[in-house]
Amino acid sequence: MEKSIFKFILRYSAPQQIYLLCVILAFYPFLFITLDLPKLIINRAIKSNADGGPFYAPVFGYEFEFEVTQVTFLLILSFTYLALVFITGGFKYYISVFKGRMGERLLRRLRYQLYSRILRFPLPHFKKVSQGELIPMITAEVEPLGGFIGIAFADPLFFGGQLVLIIGYILLQDWQLGLAAAAMIPVQGFIIPKLQKRVNVLGKQRVQNVRRLADHLGETVSGIGEIHAHDTSNLEMSRFSKRLGGIYWIRYDIYKRKFFIKFLNNFIDKLTPFFFFSIGGFLVIDGELTVGALVAVLNAYKDLASPWKELLAWYQQKEDVRIKYEQVVEQFEPQGMLEEQYQHDDPAASSPITGEISVNNVSLADEDGVRSIEAASFKIPCDGHTAIVGSSGSGKDELSQVMARLLAQTSGNILIGGQDIGKMPESVTGRDIAYVGPNPYLQAFSVGDNLAYGLKHRPLSPAHYDEEEAVQQISEVEEAEVTGNSPHDFNADWVDYAAAGVPDRDALMERINELLALVEFSEDVYQMGLRGTINPKNRGDLADRIMTARDALRERLSEPEIAPLIEPFDPSASTPTRPLPKIFCLGCLSTIRLTSRNWRNTLISGKFWIRSG
Three-state SS annotation for 219-236: HHHHCHHHHHHCCCHHHH
- What pLDDT is stored for residue 596 in this prediction? 42
User: Is a pLDDT exceeding 90 seen at residue 396?
Assistant: no
Mean pLDDT of 385-391: 87
pLDDT of residue 518: 93
Number of Cα atoms under 13 Å in the Cβ half of residue 24: 22
Residues 445-479: tens digit of each pLDDT: 888 888 888 888 888 888 888 888 888 888 898 89
For the cut 50, the answer to whether the pLDDT of residue 607 exceeds it is no
Q: In this model, does residue 306 exceed pLDDT 80?
A: no
Measure the CA–CA gap between 63 and 181, rounded to whole angstroms. Answer: 29
Q: Model confidence over 82-120: pLDDT tens digits?
A: 898 899 989 989 998 998 899 899 999 998 989 888 888
Q: What is the C-alpha to C-alpha distance for residues 16 and 99, in angstroms, rounded to an integer?
A: 9
The confidence score (pLDDT) of residue 511 equals 92
Beta carbons within 8 Å of 507's beta carbon, 6+ residues apart: 497
What is the mean pLDDT of the segment spanning 222-247?
84
32 vs 251: CA distance, rounded Å: 42
Residue 283 has pLDDT above 90, yes or no: no
Q: What pLDDT score does 277 carry?
A: 66
Q: Length of the chain in residues, anyone?
A: 613
Q: Quick check: 265 pLDDT over 90?
A: no
Buried b (16+ CB within 10 A) or exposed e, 390-414: eeeeebebbbeebbbbebebbebeb
Per-residue CA distances from 126 to 217, 334, 546 (Å): 17, 10, 45
State how far the Cα of 76 lies from the Cα of 99, in Å rounded to an integer. Answer: 34
The pLDDT of residue 15 is: 92
Confidence at residue 350, expressed as pLDDT on a 0 to 100 scale: 55
Cβ-based neighbours of 5, under 8 Å, separated by 6 or more: 145, 148, 149, 152, 321, 322, 325, 326
Q: Write the pLDDT tens digit of every residue in 40-67.
A: 777 777 765 545 556 766 665 666 666 6
**pLDDT band at residue 269 using 50, 70 and 90 as cut-offs:** low
The least confident of 178-192, 316-330, 570-584, 589-603 is 589-603
Q: What's the pLDDT score for residue 608?
A: 40
Which residues, including other chains, have CB under 8 Å from residue 129's CB and lie 6 or more apart? 331
Confidence at residue 47, expressed as pLDDT on a 0 to 100 scale: 66
Cβ neighbours, 10 Å, residue 266:
12
Are the beta carbons of 265 and 192 closer than 8 angstroms?
A: yes
Average pLDDT on 407-434 reads 85
Model confidence at 558: pLDDT above 80: yes
Q: Give the number of other Cβ atoms within 10 Å of residue 173's Cβ.
A: 22
CB-count exposure of residue 583 (10 Å: 0-12, 13-18, 19+): buried
304 with 164: CB under 8 angstroms?
no
Identify the sign of the CA torsion 239, 143, 25, 8.
positive
Separation between Cα atoms, residue 325 and residue 204, nearest integer Å: 11
Residue 19 in this model has a pLDDT that exceeds 90: yes
Q: Angle of helix 233-275 relative to helix 175-222, nearest 10 degrees?
A: 170
CA 513 to chain centre: 38
Are the C-beta atoms of 486 and 479 separated by less than 8 Å? no
How far, rounded to the nearest angstrom, does the alpha carbon of residue 183 sit from its chain's CA centroid?
43
More confident of the two residues 57 and 323: 323
pLDDT reported for residue 90: 92
- 247 close to 206: Cβ distance less than 8 angstroms: yes
Q: Across the beta sheet with 356-365, what order do the strands follow?
A: 371-381, 356-365, 411-416, 419-420
pLDDT on residue 602: 44
d(CA 240, CA 220): 10
Q: Looking at the predicted structure, is the pLDDT value of residue 224 above 80?
A: yes
**pLDDT digit string, tens, across residues 472-529:** 888 898 899 888 898 889 889 999 898 888 999 889 999 999 999 999 999 988 888 8
3-state SS of the chain: helix, strand, coil percent to 5? 65, 10, 30
Say if residues 207 and 214 touch (Cβ distance below 8 Å).
Answer: no
The amino acid at 157: L
| pTM (two decimals) | 0.69
User: In the CATH scheme, what is the code of domain 5-331?
Assistant: 1.20.1560.10
SS3 state at 379: strand
Helix (H) or strand (E) holding 330: helix 291-331
Peptide bond into 54 cis (omega under 30): yes
- Which ranges constitute the DSSP H helices of 332-395? 340-344
Percentage of residues of the chain with pLDDT beyond 70: 79
Q: What pLDDT is stored for residue 426 in this prediction?
A: 83
Q: How many CB atoms lie within 10 A of CB 296?
A: 24
| Residue ranges per structural domain of the chain | 5-331, 342-432, 447-531, 567-613
pLDDT above 60 (res 379): yes
Average pLDDT estimate for 525-544: 83
User: Would you say 424 and 399 are in contact if contact means Cβ atoms under 8 Å apart?
Assistant: no
Cβ-contact 442, 474 below 8 angstroms:
no
Instruction: State the Cα–Cα distance between residues 41 and 175, nearest whole angstrom.
Output: 22
How would you classify the pairing of strands 590-593 and 582-585? antiparallel
Distance CA 36, CA 572 (A): 76
Mean pLDDT (the chain) is 79
Lowest mean pLDDT among 78-82, 144-148, 299-303, 368-372: 299-303
The distance from CA 586 to its chain's CA centroid, rounded to whole angstroms, is 51
> What CATH topology corresponds to 342-432?
Rossmann fold (3.40.50)
What is the structure's pLDDT at 23?
93
